[in-house]
Amino acid sequence: MEKQISQAVIKRMPRYYRYLGELLDNGVERISSNELSIRMKVTASQIRQDLNNFGGFGQQGYGYNVQYLYEEIGKILGLDRQHNIIIIGAGNLGQALANYVKFEKRGFVTIGLFDVNPAMRGLSVRGIPIKMMDELEDFLADNKVDIVALTLPKEMALDVTDRVVKAGIRAIWNFAHLDLEVPEGVVVQNVHLSDSLMQLSYNIVKHEMEQE
Amino acid sequence: MEKQISQAVIKRMPRYYRYLGELLDNGVERISSNELSIRMKVTASQIRQDLNNFGGFGQQGYGYNVQYLYEEIGKILGLDRQHNIIIIGAGNLGQALANYVKFEKRGFVTIGLFDVNPAMRGLSVRGIPIKMMDELEDFLADNKVDIVALTLPKEMALDVTDRVVKAGIRAIWNFAHLDLEVPEGVVVQNVHLSDSLMQLSYNIVKHEMEQE
DNA sequence: TAGATTGTTAATCGATTAACAATC
DNA sequence: TAGATTGTTAATCGATTAACAATC
């Protein structure tokens, strides 16, 4: 078995990808770990360690080829394939995700939108029709769905999670404010906005105290 | 100076707060670190270490009083005060935040919404009128604003950040997909949705490989 | 009192940084 | 070749876990 790469490292990879994308846009051809470290405000050592978890992408005396490294990180993050997403919960947050066109450039394509609200029947967002929840299982059977985004009230989240997991879904992007219970082999990525806001709040209070 | 508490610890506090809130709702009066550790799937040791960064909230032989601990963590996270928020960028994501009523229960109150789009002039979300960007400085001068949420395209983010920082804002909740440059003393909390999605994507690919 | 469980110190583990030989 | 910079090993730092004396 391959050595396990820590989530701390994985979490940093999208940021490298973003910075390399900007360099690429600016026509920069090569970059050293040291120069990148200055821009990103991390240590050069960390950059080299992180990248070498996945392979040697650089060249001694030269640094890293921006285009090549950008593409390699893209592959590591699975951006070289298409991921079909359905969004369950077509409220503002669900619609915000459905409207976020830039995801598609990275291969994340929203192919379905679901809601419980009958008033939404027949409506669509960016050409994607909003379906009712009783159509969920049929849709999952008829379409290749890789990721389910849960943008619904937490009261419904457990039930819906059970349904999609039963239907064979192995990846959930969870915006509901609770911890999902899923069987082994199902990946959950949480986005807990209120946790993020509380962390910000802590840091505000801390900062104020430091002023005094 | 007080000992610095790591962000790793801070990040876990909202989750404790959430679990304690649920226990409270369920009428549970006291809980031991061990029992909580089983529910939360962390070690009891970590719970005790985390809490003791802020003080001794428990009692030997008894455990923790749920109500008391819940309130104390609330205070640590600054939830015992009101935080006024303005949201800049009244697209779906901005509106989603403005509509998220539960934030208000924790003291986070949206008092303003701003957008560049003239078509939005006069519209309002949940009773909060959408203002145009040229009204920003006046609004900040006339109102106590604690947090600015940036839910706008990254092209505008740097400019707007400069403006609000100049106006004295010390906390930014950043949803724009770039790293903000802010002076010392300004706190930034990032929510990079596409980074989160990429992390999920990595874990999907990894899981698939492990199956083979 | 005896039992339970904290608060806290000590041990371990993992992640980050530093250093440098390998090499382009 | 000389200089630059990687890949990688070693050292350090910090975070997590274990252990246990203090104490309710």
Taking chain A (212 residues) in consecutive chunks of 10 residues, what is each chunk's mean pLDDT?
A: 83 98 98 98 98 96 98 98 98 96 94 97 96 98 98 97 98 98 96 98 92 70
Instruction: Determine the pLDDT at residue A57.
Output: 97
pLDDT tens per residue, range B99-154: 998 999 999 999 999 999 999 999 999 999 999 999 999 999 999 999 999 999 99
So what's the pLDDT on residue B212?
Answer: 67
C-beta atoms of B78 and A10 within 8 A: no
Cα separation, B202 vs B125, whole angstroms: 37
Residue A204 lies in a domain: no
**Token pair of A52 as six digits:** 């070498």
Six token digits for residue A102 = 């830039």
Same domain for A190 and A102: yes
Map tokens 């979490």 to a residue.
A11
In a domain, A138, yes or no: yes
Phi/psi of residue A199, nearest 5 degrees: -65, -40
Residues B103 and B55 in one domain: no
Contact list in B for residue A177 (CB cut-off 8 A) is 18, 102
Provide the mean pLDDT of chain B. 96
Among residues A61, A76, A91, the one where a domain terminates is A76
Whichever domain contains A12, its CATH number is 1.10.10.10
Amino acid at B120: M
- The answer to whether A93 faces chain B, any CB pair under 8 Å, is yes
User: B114 and B20: one domain?
Assistant: no
C-alpha dist (Å) from residue B105 to A27, A196, B80, B81: 48, 16, 11, 11
Domain match, A168 and A143 both: yes
Number of domains in chain A: 2
Distance, CA of A71 to C1' of C3, in Å: 61
Distance (Å) of CA B209 to CA A2, A75, A91, B205: 10, 14, 35, 6
CB B38 within 8 Å of CB B81:
no
Is B135 an interface residue toward A (CB < 8 Å)?
no
> Does residue A212 belong to any structural domain of this protein?
no
Residue A200 lies in a domain: no
Cα→Cα distances A108→A84, A93, B174, B194, Å: 6, 17, 22, 10
Q: So what's the pLDDT on residue A2?
A: 53
Return the axis-axis angle of helices A7-25 and A33-40, rounded to nearest 10°: 100
CA A187, CA B69: separation in Å to the nearest integer? 31
- Do residues A123 and A191 both lie within one domain? yes
In a domain, B149, yes or no: yes
Last residue of a domain, one of B76, B91, B111: B76
Smallest CA–CA distance, residue A8 to chain B, in Å, is 10
CATH of the domain at A98: 3.40.50.720
Q: B8-20: buried (b, 16+ CB within 10 Å) or exposed (e) per residue?
A: eebebbbbbbbbb
A134 shares its domain with A161: yes
Q: Which domain holds residue B127?
A: 83-195
Helices B7-25, A193-211: axis angle to 10 degrees equals 120
Residue A128 to residue A120: CA distance in whole angstroms: 12
The 10 Å CB-count burial string (b at 16+, else e) for B108-139 is: bebebbbbeeeebeeeebeebebbebeebeee
B38 in A contact zone (CB under 8 Å): no
Looking at the fold, whether A108 and A141 belong to one and the same domain comes out as yes
Q: Which residues of B touch A147 (CB under 8 A)?
A: 200, 204
Tell me the angle at which helices B44-52 and B33-40 cross, rounded to the nearest 10 degrees: 110
Chain-centre distance of CA A24, in angstroms?
A: 22
pLDDT at B1: 43
DSSP per-residue codes, A38-93: HHHTS-HHHHHHHHHTT---EETTTEEEHHHHHHHHHHHTTTTS-EEEEEE--SHH
3-class state of residue B125 by DSSP: strand
Asked whether residue A11 is assigned to any structural domain, the reply reads yes
Q: Are residues A64 and A168 in the same domain?
A: no
Residues B162 and B127 in one domain: yes
CA distances B204 to A10, A167, B4, Å, are 12, 17, 36
Is B93 in Cβ contact with A201 (below 8 Å)? Answer: no
pLDDT for residue B48 is more than 60: yes
B145 and B65 in a common domain: no
A108 touches chain B (CB under 8 A): yes
Return the structure tokens found at B42: 């962390």
- Is B201 part of a structural domain of the chain? no
Residues pairing with A150 in the sheet: A88, A174
Residue A201 inside a domain? The answer is no
Beta bridge partners of B130: B113
What pLDDT is attached to residue A101? Answer: 85
Say if residue A104 is in the same domain as residue A31.
Answer: no
Q: For the CA atoms of chain A, what is the radius of gyration?
A: 21
Chain B partners within 8 Å of A7 (Cβ): 199
One domain, residues B93 and B189: yes
Interface contact flag, A108 B201, Cβ < 8 Å: yes
